[in-house]
Amino acid sequence: MNPEGERAIESTERILMQSFGRGSTECMVDPHDRSDRFELIAACEGATLAQFANDVLDGDPPLSVRQEPRPQLLMQQVRDPVERRPFNLGEVLVTPAEVELEGTRGFAMVPGKGERAALSGAIVDAAVAADHEETPAIIAALEDVAARQREQRRRDWSQSKHTAVEFETMEGQE
Amino acid sequence: MGYVAVTAGEELIERAEQLFEKQRIDDDADDIGVDQIEGQLGRLTAQAMSEGGLYAPRLAALAVKQAQGDTVEAAFLLRAYRSTLERFDETTTVDPGEMIATRRVSPAFKDIPGGQILGATKDYTQRLLDFDLADGSPEDPTAEWELDDEGDPERLTNVTELLREEGLLHEPDEPAVDEPNDTTRESITHPPERDEVLQELARGETGAVTALGYSALRGYGQVHPTLAEVRVGRLPVRIEHPYTGAEVTVTHTEVTESEAVVPVYEKREDPQFAFGYGLTFGRNERKAIGMTILDASIQLDGDDEPAENAEFVLDTVDGTDSFGFIEHLKLPHYVTFQSILDRIRAIRERKGLSEQSRVETDERPADSAVAGTSDDD
């Protein structure tokens, strides 16, 4: 590379170090909030959701399935950093479902092919929205999911940072 | 080319398929579980998802099992499955800068903000067969690590974004459209839009993307990039919640990203870098880097080098296309071949070659006569 290019890169390295800002990806989640609840249900184990759904349906409340749980596709769009326009990276398999439980709607979407988990998740969502008697137990379970997610994220990050390295150039060394 | 149906005994075809299935269980070893494939052969499932254009780790593991490890066949199975499904929606557009990185290295800059994070890699160690794996019990080599609590993952600023801030990168024109074209729904017309190029490369066959990218490095092209960074991490998959309208995260996809800078100061009045970009599902750095080279090459819009010709690249990188076309040659072509034979025989007849050839072959041993006929093909 020519000297002009090298100077440019040195200068850019300085700017990089100065302008870098640490951004946290963490935020608090609240299972009472519908959007937060959606994310926690999506991350919850199917068996846990199924157990709560069974408990909610135990008293045989009126339930209608507004959207059958069926695997569907989401096209993941990413902003290309060159032209800053979106492109389609590829499709992601998800299973959505929607129910109406005692007049209250519930919606869930789980990753992958998970018909039972999606239907159970929609029932759980509606149950919390309707303040069903199972709500405290559901909230506690979803808070556990949030805690485990956070812990896993931090552990993964700590593990990756454990491999952080500083490369040293060996110019002038024999 | 036309196609003519042929018939064969259905039972015989079933027997052939059964023999294929038997190969999976043709010894006393335990049946390999889908969980094992998903957990232990992640590179295979990643490749199948990437080339299939469908992120579904568990089904990719199933596809790999069904295909007996043939990744292109597994990608085909995933594409066939997706073709039976409805699309719920597009996600909201995610910025790759939001990636939660588990690995990030910059070959261009020694000191980068956030540091060089090697993550899980064997890039810097010898590639020697580890015979202990053959019958050893698995042990977690990180079990004794004493980890510092590093807090929550940092958002690592893209190196190229910062180069752009200094004016060292070409500033793009404002995009003309917000909605990208979807090459799974509409065929590409040439010259392709950039978003179409990236989508097709993202689901290109790893070997083809690597080979074509390599061709540019080997002198069949002008691009020899410096990688600004290579990352592996997770990107959020977000939709608008149907009730609240808020952006919500359904899951994350594991992706590999590569960004390259290509010096173009000899070509422009304002010395700057051009960009190459690669992003694909799963852990597949080789493919992401190959994609980056091809993206940068295609932007040169050359006709002389294969890697710079978008039509050539996009017509050849798709594994399902190439697999289908190459492997279909095994299937019966009796009618088309008979037609070719008839035509060649007629030409030879007209030129008086057939009689002469018959005399010559009559004088040869029988096996040579067969070879002579084969030459006519």
**Lookup: tokens for B118:** 């090697």
Question: Is residue B116 pLDDT above 50, yes or no?
Answer: yes
Write the DSSP string, B182-208: -TTTS---SSPPHHHHHHHHHTS-HHH
* Residue of chain B whose Cα is closest to the Cα of A112: B56
The pLDDT assigned to B269 comes to 59
Structure-model confidence comparison of residues B267 and A12, the more confident one: B267
CB distance A79–B94 less than 8 Å? yes
**Lookup: tokens for A80:** 């290309």
How confident is the model over B267-272, as a mean pLDDT?
A: 59
CB distance B239–A81 less than 8 Å? no
Low-confidence ranges of chain A (pLDDT < 70): 1-27, 172-174
One-letter identity of residue B210 = T
Closest to A66 measured CA to CA, from B243, B159, B43: B243
The pLDDT assigned to A65 comes to 98
Query: What is the rounded distance in angstroms from the CA atom of residue B152 to the CA atom of residue A152?
Result: 10
CB distance A76–B110 less than 8 Å? no
The pLDDT assigned to A29 comes to 86
Please write the tens of the pLDDT for every residue from B4-35: 667 778 888 899 999 999 888 877 788 899 99
The pLDDT assigned to B361 comes to 57
DSSP conformation class of A24: E
Q: Kindly report the nearest CA distance between residue B187 and chain A, in angstroms.
A: 14
Interface list for B 53-82 with A (CB within 8 A): 53-59, 82
User: A58 — contact with chain B (CB < 8 Å)?
Assistant: no
The pLDDT assigned to B175 comes to 61
Which of A74, A113, A142, A158 should one mutate to test binding to chain B, selecting the residue with the greatest count of B CBs within 10 A?
Answer: A74
The pLDDT assigned to A25 comes to 43
Do residues A142 and A108 touch, judged by C-beta distance below 8 A? no
Burial class (CB in 10 A: 0-12, 13-18, 19+), B355: exposed
The pLDDT assigned to B227 comes to 94
- Residue of A98, A158, A168 lying closest to B147 (CB–CB): A158
- Average pLDDT over chain B reads 87
How confident is the model over B222-248, as a mean pLDDT?
A: 94
Compute the count of residue pairs across chains A and B with CB atoms less than 8 Å apart. Answer: 289
How confident is the model over B28-47, as a mean pLDDT?
A: 93
User: A34 — contact with chain B (CB < 8 Å)?
Assistant: yes
The pLDDT assigned to B369 comes to 39
CB distance A84–B59 less than 8 Å? no
Question: Is residue B211 pLDDT above 50, yes or no?
Answer: yes
How confident is the model over B210-225, as a mean pLDDT?
A: 92
DSSP conformation class of B96: G
Domain ranges of chain A: 44-158
User: B106 — contact with chain A (CB < 8 Å)?
Assistant: no
**Lookup: tokens for B200:** 């097709």
Do residues B196 and B188 touch, judged by C-beta distance below 8 A? yes
What ipTM describes this predicted complex? 0.88
Most confident of A26-35, A69-78, B154-163, B257-266: A69-78
One-letter identity of residue B42 = G
User: B288 — contact with chain A (CB < 8 Å)?
Assistant: no
User: B280 — contact with chain A (CB < 8 Å)?
Assistant: yes
* Residue of chain A whose Cα is closest to the Cα of B274: A82
One-letter identity of residue B235 = L
3-state secondary structure of B42: helix
Write the DSSP string, B52-84: HTEE-HHHHHHHHHHTTT-HHHHHHHHHHHHTT
Q: Confidence band (pLDDT; 50, 70, 90) for B270?
A: low
Query: What is the rounded distance in angstroms from the CA atom of residue B280 to the CA atom of residue B199?
Result: 9
Structure-model confidence comparison of residues A25 and B175, the more confident one: B175
Do residues A5 and B265 touch, judged by C-beta distance below 8 A? yes
Q: Kindly report the nearest CA distance between residue A135 and chain B, in angstroms.
A: 19
> Measured between alpha carbons, how far is residue B189 from residues A165, B68, B192, B314, B315 in Å?
45, 36, 6, 11, 11
CA A86 to chain centre: 21
Provide the angle, in degrees to the nearest 10, between the axes of the packed helices A135-161 and A46-57: 170
How does A46-69 read in b/e, with b if 16+ C-beta sit within 10 Å? bebbbebbebbeeeeeebeeebeb
3-state secondary structure of B193: coil
Residue with tokens 């993307």: B209
CB distance B53–A80 less than 8 Å? no
> Measured between alpha carbons, how far is residue A58 from residues A46, A49, B62, B321 in Å?
18, 14, 35, 52
CB hemisphere CA count around A118 (13 angstroms): 22
Please write the tens of the pLDDT for every residue from B328-362: 999 888 888 899 999 999 999 898 887 666 666 55
Question: Is residue B282 pLDDT above 70, yes or no?
Answer: yes
Query: What is the rounded distance in angstroms from the CA atom of residue A77 to the CA atom of residue B94?
Result: 6
Return the CATH number of the domain spanning residue range A44-158.
3.30.160
- Residue of A2, A81, A160 lying closest to B161 (CB–CB): A81
CB distance B168–A112 less than 8 Å? no
